[in-house]
Every structure is written in C-alpha cells, then in structure tokens.
Amino acid sequence: MNVIILAAGMGKRMQSALPKVLHPLAGKPLLAHVIDTARTLSPQRLCVVYGHGGEMLPQMLAAPDLSFARQEPQLGTGHAVMQGLPHLSDDVPTLILYGDVPLTSAGSLQALADIAGADKLAILTIALANPTGYGRIVREHGAIVRIVEQKDASEAERAITEVNTGIMVAPTALLKIWLATLSNDNAQGEYYLTDIVARAVADGVPVVSAQPAAVWETLGVNSKVQLAELERIFQQNVAHALLEQGVTLADPARLDVRGELVCGRDVSIDISCVFEGKVTLEDGVSIGAHCVIRNAHIAKGAAIKPFCHIEDAVVGAACVIGPYARLRPGTELGEDVHIGNFVEIKNSQIAAHSKANHLAYVGDATIGSRVNVGAGTITCNYDGANKFRTVIEDDAFIGSDTQLVAPVTVGKGATLGAGTTLTRDAPAGKLTVSRARQITVEGWQRPVKLKK
C-alpha cells in the first residue's frame, strides 16, 4: 500500500512555537509514533504532508523511505491529501493517517486494509456516547452513504453516535479522481476529505468500515491536556504489558518508559522510575524508586538503589549501585562492583569485586579487581585542554581524600595513604603517601573576640 500522513496543522491550542506533531509522547514526537507504526505495514510509498513549522519537520525526521509534500496554505484534509498525490503509486491502495493520532495499532490498520482490499473505500469508525465534534457516519439500509461534519450536520444527523476517525483506505487511482471534484462550499470553507465518501457511493464503489480494538487508538492531540492524557494511556499500556510478562511494578501508574524496556524474569521496579532509549534489565534486577536509566544494560541480579542516574552504561551481574549514584556514558562495571552514594563514574571500566562506596569521582579510568576506592577520591583527568587516563591495578587500596593526577598508574596491590596527591606512578605492593608532615605547635592559643 501507499501511506500518506497528514501533519500540516499548526496546533494553536498547544500554545507552542513547536509544530504540534513534533511534541513528544513517551520521549519521541507524535509524528514519529505514526511513522513507526506505518513502517510495520511495509508500505510501498510513505509520504508526510507538512506545513506549519517550515522545514523543521522534514529536517528532523528525514529518512530514505520518507517523502515530504508541503501544504501551503492549509485548506482542509482533502487539500492536504492532494499535495501528496504525486508521491503515491496508482496500482496499490492508499492508507491515510494523521500525525497527531499516535496510538493507532498496526493490527487495527491492517484489519482496515484487509477489508478494503484493492477496490473498496474503507473507513475506521468508532461509536461514542458523546460524538460532539466528530463527523457522523450516515448509513442507509446499513450501508455507509456519506460523512457529515459536525458544523454541517442536521439535528437528526448530530444524534448519530458512529463517527469518523479520519483514518481510511482508498483505491489510489479513484482517490485522485474524487479529490479533483471536491468543493469548499461548506461552513468552514475547506476541502473535506470526507466528501469522497459520497463520490464513492455515486461511482458504485463499496464503502465499508472497521473498528479499532480500543477507542483510545483513535484519539488525537489538540492541546497539552490531551497530550498528557495520551501519555498516561501509553504508559498504562506499557505497564500492563510488563506486568503480564511477570515484572513487579510497585505502582503501574508511576512508571515512564520513553523507548524500549526489555526485562527478564523476577525484575522489580519501584515507583517513579524513568527509562529512556533502550534499557535491558536481566533476571532478578531490582530498580529502586526515582531512578532515571537511559540506554543501559543491567546484568543479572544487580540492585539499583533509589535516586540513581545511569546513562549509556553497562552494569555487571550482582552489582550494587547507589543510592544517589551517577553512571555516565562509557561506564562499564564488572561483576559484584559496588558504587555507593554520591559517586560519579564516567568513561571508566571497573573490574569485578571493586568498590567505591562514598563521595568519589572516577573519570577516564581503568580499575582492576578487588580495588577499594576511598571516600573523597578524585581522578584528576582533565588539565583544562586534554583528558588523560588513570590506571589502578588489581587489589590496590586508595585511601580517602586522594587525588590521582592523570596520566598515572597505581600498581597491583599498592596502597595510597589518605590525603595523597599522586602525580607519579605508585609502585606495586607498596605504600605511597604524599602529604605534609603532621606537626603540633606548642604554645599556640586560639584567637578570641576583641572587646568593643
């Protein structure tokens, strides 16, 4: 099939300079959700009709399989589809979607395409208790004969509860003919796409319908309120799927997945966690409350305590992270590594059974196994212009409040005394201390306040 996505609207009610279809839902633009769903149908042609926002939209979403058509000015949905016609192939049907309707499932769209076949006009319809604002589906003897917009509907027609979602499949060659006959003689002065239904009936083309699995699949976004409502629906669906897979969620209503979350068995996630990009949690992983995890792989049995930030990192099996730890891009932790509160790791590899339990910064470092990094330790990796690497070999002990001025190596089994500023390599197996000799000043008296 062809797929054409209408995405030219300004979205005045969004109260934003950003085009409506570029507002994020679950971490990616509304339009990107629609494009991704369309791609699952393997379309022959995929065209996006844009308008407001100028070239911002095609620049952000450009891809080899996408073509773009500009609608300027915006004269209605029928006029929008006309702009995309040169990008469509006549020998396959065309599916018409909307860039601000992000939750329609591929299954519902495939069902619509199946009922349309190659020669029918198929419309996705829903029944609403309150259909105000929607175009009504007018039937005679059970057959669809036309769609009437709210502003043009009679009192009897407004009582109809079956409504048009706007999503339809049409034979492309006939679609081009029907669009050429549209008029804007209506209450809004626009070219309505829905008017092609009457054209199809006049030409003897069967008009059929299908219904989505859920009403929320057809909900669009016209305001920040509606965007927030769809965000919750999306996250509820994600949470339900995770629960069905066996994941334990402390509160399904307090979870945000803004990408892909892959979970093994016996995974538990506490409240108010955010997952972005692709995150993998292997068997037995536990995630504490209020964690933000982006593009990370967390291995079997690891425990991430509350308030941790993890980004572009690999956490080994049985690691204990946090609370209040930050793993920045390039962090790779081996098995049973402990990273404690207010410890930041960046672009560093830490081998199995090593620990940095308190108040430390480890950047651009390679740390071996069974290393203890004391509280207040800092790798001084940046000289103001260039970054250098610190190497700490197996079984080393780094005393508290140590500064390692890179490039520097701490040998295997070495010990650095507390308060050391290391500027040269520390030999293996020995104690290295770099600090002023302690003295006691005899006869010294503490100052006292002067009397006024």
Return the H-helix or E-strand segment holding 363.
Answer: strand 361-363
Instruction: Give me the phi and psi of 172, to 5 degrees please.
Output: -65, -45
Torsion sign, CA atoms 59, 65, 67, 68:
negative
Long-range pairs of 413-419 with CB within 8 A, sequence gap ≥ 24: 418/374
- Give the position of tokens 């000015």: 73
DSSP state of 345: E
Q: Are strands 361-363 and 344-346 parallel, antiparallel or unpaired?
A: parallel
Residue of 240, 297, 309, 358 marked catalytic: 358
The greatest distance separating any two alpha carbons of the chain, rounded to the nearest whole angstrom, comes to 111
Instruction: For the chain, state the CA radius of gyration.
Output: 31
Tally the C-alpha atoms within 13 A of residue 14's C-alpha that lie toward its C-beta.
18
358 included as an active-site residue: yes
Closest by CA position to 1, among listed 165, 163, 115: 115
- Give dist(CA 352, CA 370) in Å, integer: 7
220-251: b (≥16 Cβ within 10 Å) or e: bbeeeeebeebbebbbebbbeebeeeebebee
End-to-end CA distance of the chain: 92
Chain-centroid distance, C-alpha 272: 16
Q: Which residues contact 98 (CB under 8 A, 6 or more apart)?
A: 5, 6, 7, 34, 166, 167, 220
| Cα separations in angstroms, 32 against 178, 295, 305, 411 | 29, 19, 33, 51
Catalytic residues: 358
